[in-house]
Structures are given as C-alpha cells and as structure tokens.
Amino acid sequence: MRQARLVADLQLTLGEGPRWSEREQVLYLVDIAKHALVRFDPTTGQTRRRLFDSPVGCFAFRRGGGFVLAMADGFALIDSFEGPVMPFGAQVTEGRADIRFNDGRTDAAGRFFAGTVNTQKSASDAGLYRLTPEGAVTQLTTGALTCNGTAFSPDGRTLYHSDTPQHAIYAFDFEPTMGEISNKRVFHQFPFGEGRPDGASVDREGCYWTAMYDGGRVVRLSPVGEILETVVLPVTRPTMISLGGPDLKTAYVTSARQNLDAEALALQPLAGGLFSFAVAVPGLSEVDFAG
C-alpha cells in the first residue's frame, strides 16, 4: 500500500487546486479561505504567498506567462505572480455573496473550464463555465451545490466533474472543436458518510484520481469508474490531488483545516498540510490558458 508523506506543513485553511509548473518545476496551489496563491518549491522547500482582495478558487497557467484566476466575481488575469489583477470577461458572479468560483481545468485548445460553489448551500444554482482566450464566458451546466473535480481524459473526448455534496462524479462527452459538452452520466457514485469527491486529476492511462473530503483518502478510478486503488492520508480533509514532479509521477495532495475544532486538530495536527506519494503512471501535463 502506498504511503503519503508530509512535504510541507503549510497550515492551509482551505488548500486547493495544486498545479505543477513544468516550466518552473514548482507547485502552485491556493488557500481559498485566505485569498492566497501559493508557490512551493519542492527542491528548496521554500514557499511564497500572494494575497488577493477576494478568494481565488482555482487558476491555470497562461501561455505567455502569469495566470488566469477564477475568483469570487469572475475571471481575472495576472501577468506574473506579483502582477496587477485585471478582470477578464463578464464578471458572472458579481454581487452574489453566496456564489464564487471553485475548481477548474484548461482543455487542449487552451480554454478554461471552471465551476462555482454555493457557499451557503442555499440553492442548487452552481454550475460549470467555459472561458475562451478572447474572454467570452458561457455557462454550460447548472443545478449543483459544489462543482469540483474538473478534468479531461487523455484523448480530450471526456470531461469529468463532480457535485461534491451529492457524492457523485459525472462524465460528459466533450466536443473539442467548440468546447461543448453533452450526454451527462454518473461516472461513480460514492456512498454517503464515507467522504465525498473533491478535486481530481487524470493520469496517462485515463484513470481519475479524486481526493475524498472528510474521507481521509484519495482514490484512483478506472476509465469506466471502478475503484482501482486507495491511498490513506493522516488527515480527514484532503481537497485535491495533482500529479507533478520532473516525471509527473509524484502525487501532491492539498488538505484543509477549516471547521475543525481544537479536539479534531489535536488528533490530526497535520491538517492543512501538503502531502505526496509516488505513482507508477505519470500524470498529464497542465495545458496553458491561451489568453
């Protein structure tokens, strides 16, 4: 059985969205609750944090350098880690205190797909959005509480994402020319009470790795949704898994400390840490946003 180890005790309140930069050979991630973009260098152990005025749910690297950010009100661009924030496209969640962007991924054409979350759980009105390099924003789905786990199959013909409170991961047929989705179906339904699927990544064999929030583990699912492997972590709230390292065979897992009381934190003092373990099958390279 694989063993996860702590690589950085980052004390993340709500760590999310780890992405491996092959250009820099470092890992970037966010702490949504602290409005932070975090840069972690596994070679030196050094960490840098960039703070924003509002939460950053997820991000992608840009082809020309910098990042596209999915924030509370909508999308934004920065040209560098410290660069000024430039809103980009329609600010589709502006004025909605209960809605923010949460999780996303770039497709092979350089479009960014990001889902939202209803943070108050007041309505099933979260959905998946598509951002083009030109700044056009289109809502593709609705009817969810928390959109998570966005990832693409290696051939780019399947898009995955989950509605975390429903414990369900969905698959869609993906049309790569226009970026349209169709044929929604359940990829895997987890039982209630054993953890729920959060952030995810796909490896080169087309297997889907998902972090099980409140389940203390990450799970690898086959391309047809069968559980192939489980890796237990020393924390109950892993939030997302990403495959990185020089050969893309190091799994990095973020975690959260949010809403854990003193007793729970005493039992899991590493909550909010960044963990890793080796995998046999490498991950897929992150595609840069073309805008």
Name the CA dihedral angle for 48, 52, 54, 59, rounded to a multiple of 10 degrees. Answer: -60
Cα dihedral 260, 266, 272, 276 sign: negative
Take residue 208 and report the two structure tokens written for it.
């889907």
Q: Which residues have CB under 8 Å from 53's CB, separation 6+?
A: 35, 85
Cα separation, 198 vs 218, in Å, equals 10
Catalytic positions: 198
Q: Which residue has the tokens 């966010």?
A: 30
Cα separation, 72 vs 193, in Å, equals 29
From 264, 261, 215, select the one nearest 236 (Cα to Cα). Answer: 215
Cα separation, 105 vs 111, in Å, equals 8
Cα dihedral 192, 194, 200, 205 sign: negative
